[in-house]
Amino acid sequence: MEIITVTLNPAVDKKLTLGEIAPGGTNRCVLERVDFSGKGVNAAKTLAALGLACRAAGFMGKGDAARFAETLAALGVFCDFTPISGEVRTNIKLLEDSGRETEINESGPVVKEAEISAFHENFAQSRGRGSVFVLSGSLPPGVPARIYAELIETARASGGRVVLDASGEALNFGVLAAPYAIKPNVAELERFLRDNQAVLPSFDGELKSDARIKEAARAVAGLGGVSLAAVSAGERGAYFVTKERAVKARAAGRLDVKGTIGAGDAMAAGVAAAIFKGLDLDETARLASACASAAVERDGTSAGAAAEIELMKPRIILEEI
């Protein structure tokens, strides 16, 4: 069996390093880096680094398929994308000397109904190969917000367990389809609560404390019978919440941060790997947090190596909340 990641809106990430952005003026970069990316693709990189059998699925522009397949195959990821007529989007990351990052993300190609149907058919045929699925990222134009919910139902029909890393309407619908785990960040969890005020009537617009994040994560997970809510919170660490327990995880000491883009995807991969291996909550929190911490010490959206993740695991501090 293998882990299948789904990226419906893959991207070519172009990271440009420059001294300081001059709005309205001419800006010249001093360093350029290009990564083949997308949230599910990034998760697949981490899963492959962990030595797990991984298949990357989703939509892929016909003109981009060979570049993605060659890059991912070199990392140990098998590509099983559904071809579409549009081109993969390009996302621009501007990194200043101060460490401030600015993102400019294209919305992605318009996907046709026939292409969506072809993907559903491909996914249904391949679901038997996967025991764990990672559904993550934004949806390109033309793709309905309910698609993750539909894919969750398809995966669950064959006994698959799904990690959902989405936001907005895609998360709203997806939670109700009962994925095994969800992996929002704090801002995405707050947005969910604003969109669904009845879930936590006491929500006042922000989740500032550990207790409030635990309460919110448990309330959202309870809607669809989600077993685990993993909430990433940047420098604050991450929260791993089930019906019975909740732990906060963070790395001890100072990380050599080279970029935060892709850290959440690495965490989602860590959660999927933990589910695949049958780890308990503490082990899940430690592995997922180690994957994310190792990722921020890498340039671009490359995954931390297995040895780096193993070295990071003892540095992860767990706190019961």
Map out the domains of the chain with their CATH numbers.
Answer: 2-7+38-88+110-320 (3.40.1190.20)
**In this predicted structure, what is the pLDDT of residue 145?**
98
Q: How confident is the model at residue 93 (pLDDT cuts 50, 70, 90)?
A: confident
**Percent of the chain scored above 70 by pLDDT?**
100
Q: What is the mean pLDDT of residues 92-106?
A: 88
pLDDT tier at 260, thresholds 50, 70, 90? confident
Per-residue pLDDT at 301 exceeds 90: no
For residue 143, pLDDT over 80 is answered with: yes
Q: What is the pTM of this model?
A: 0.93
265 a catalytic residue: yes
CB atoms within 10 A of CB 158: 12
Burial class (CB in 10 A: 0-12, 13-18, 19+), 307: exposed
Q: Record the tokens describing residue 56, joined without a space.
A: 């990357």
Q: What is the pLDDT of residue 100?
A: 86
pLDDT higher than 90, residue 121: yes
Tokens read off for 31:
């360093």
Residue in 13, 80, 165, 265 annotated catalytic: 265
Give the residue from 188, 294, 169 showing the smallest Cα distance to 233. 188
**Predicted confidence (pLDDT) per residue in 34-79, tens digit:** 999 999 999 999 999 999 999 999 999 988 888 899 999 999 999 9
Which of 148, 172, 152, 149 has its CA nearest to residue 160? 152
Euclidean distance between CA atoms 212 and 98, whole angstroms:
32
More confident of the two residues 257 and 7: 7
Is the pLDDT at 12 greater than 90, yes or no? Answer: yes
Predicted confidence band at 256 (pLDDT cuts at 50, 70, 90)?
A: confident
Within 13 Å, how many C-alpha atoms sit on residue 278's CB side?
A: 0
CB contact at 8 A, 211 and 321: yes
Which carries the bigger pLDDT value, residue 261 or residue 117? 117
- pLDDT, residue 255, reads 87
At a CB cut-off of 8 Å and minimum separation 6, what does 183 contact?
136, 163, 164, 165, 229, 230, 231, 232, 264, 267, 268, 271
Pairing, β 246-251 against β 78-84: unpaired
Split at pLDDT 50, 70, 90, the class of 297 is: confident
| pLDDT number for residue 81 | 95
> What is the average per-residue pLDDT within 160-188?
97
Q: Is the pLDDT of residue 207 over 90?
A: yes
| Residue 304, pLDDT score | 85
